[in-house]
Amino acid sequence: MRSIIDIDRKNTMYLITGSASPELIRDSSESLAGRIAYVVLQPFHLDEIDKNDLNEHWLNGGFPGAFLAKDSFGSTVWREQFIRTYLEKDLPILGLDVPYDSFKKFITILAHVNGQIINYSNISKSMTLSIPTINKYIDFLEKAFLITKLHPYSANVKKRLVKSPKVYFNDTGILHSLLRIDTFENLQSHIYLGASWETYVINQIKNILRNEYDLYFYRTHNGAELDLLIEKGGIICMAIEIKYTDAPKLSKGNYYAIEDVKSKENYIITPSSDTYPVKENIWVISIENFMLLLKDKNMTLWE
């Protein structure tokens, strides 16, 4: 590729597709630095579907085979087969040669702590693995685009901030398969309902923001917390709390966190509420309207 590009440096586009391959990237002799741009293709985004399908999108995820399946059974089967073939076939090819049953147990444990601060010691005891090995597995899954680590915001060094990151699955359909949630009714009564909704909202925001924005969560040992901060150049652009109710309320810890990070724009994102203020600079807003707000502020990749 490098030779072909360098022979004729005209405005020619080469579209090269493929899955994540940490091993191939590491062993490649040519980086194509200065000649290549990487584009991560995410599952279907909320902007790419009929808004009436939001619940289905949340339940089944955005992989085409799962979202476009004829029925919930077909979607469930596709996702289960995806997980199995990815763990049995793809991960060893990508450089992680771990027995299927062991790694299936590992990612299932991750699904049960999705949206929580990682407790490496607990996972280590459950899996009889060393903490460095757990870190290696989590880092690999992030490079393979299955999960995202959300780090704590730590600009204010005077606060005793929690240092461990949270882990979120990049697709709620895959998350639900690992949690054995196969219908929307199951999801509504499940103990992980709130964590699942939080994951869905964060994924929608993450996948649409321009690269200059960074995402964090905020939590201190005195109880101040917020689900999501959008930061650019050391400044908190927005502070966000995510609630699965159309009549949400903030806790004292949320108000403390807003004071700590000094965010001028604060939002409580819900499934389908109207947009209205609850206090100065704090607004309740639906996920759909929040996506439109990001576009209006020219913060997104989408035109």
Is 48 inside any structural domain? yes
Percent of the chain with pLDDT strictly greater than 70 = 84
Identity at 105, one-letter amino acid code: K
Reported as a single tens digit per residue, the pLDDT across 172-210 is 999 999 999 999 999 999 999 999 999 999 999 999 999
Q: What is the bridge-based pairing of β-strands 266-270 and 282-286? A: parallel
Is 126 inside any structural domain? yes
Is 301 inside any structural domain? no
Instruction: Look at residue 209 in the predicted model and tell me its pLDDT.
Output: 94
pTM of the complete model: 0.88
- Mean pLDDT value across residues 242-246: 96
Q: What is the CA radius of gyration of the chain?
A: 20
Instruction: Look at residue 98 in the predicted model and tell me its pLDDT.
Output: 87
Conformation bin of residue 233: beta by default, left when phi > 0, alpha when psi is -120 to 50: left
Q: How many domains does the chain have?
A: 1
Identity at 252, one-letter amino acid code: K
- Residue 94: pLDDT band (50, 70, 90) is confident
Is 303 inside any structural domain? no
In this predicted structure, the answer to whether residue 160 has a pLDDT above a threshold of 90 is no
Q: What is the bridge-based pairing of β-strands 235-242 and 214-219? A: unpaired
Burial of 57 (0-12, 13-18, 19+ CB in 10 A): buried
Task: From 31, 18, 249, 20, select the one nearest 139 (Cα to Cα).
Answer: 20
CA distance 128 to 19: 30
In this predicted structure, the answer to whether residue 155 has a pLDDT above a threshold of 80 is no
Reported as a single tens digit per residue, the pLDDT across 189-198 is 999 999 999 9
Reported as a single tens digit per residue, the pLDDT across 50-76 is 877 999 999 999 999 999 999 889 999
The residue segments making up the domain with residue 63 are: 2-296
Is 57 inside any structural domain? yes
- Residue 159: pLDDT band (50, 70, 90) is very low
Is 121 inside any structural domain? yes
Instruction: Look at residue 26 in the predicted model and tell me its pLDDT.
Output: 56
Is 302 inside any structural domain? no
Strand ranges across the sheet with 214-219? 166-169, 147-152, 214-219, 225-232, 235-242, 266-270, 282-286, 276-279
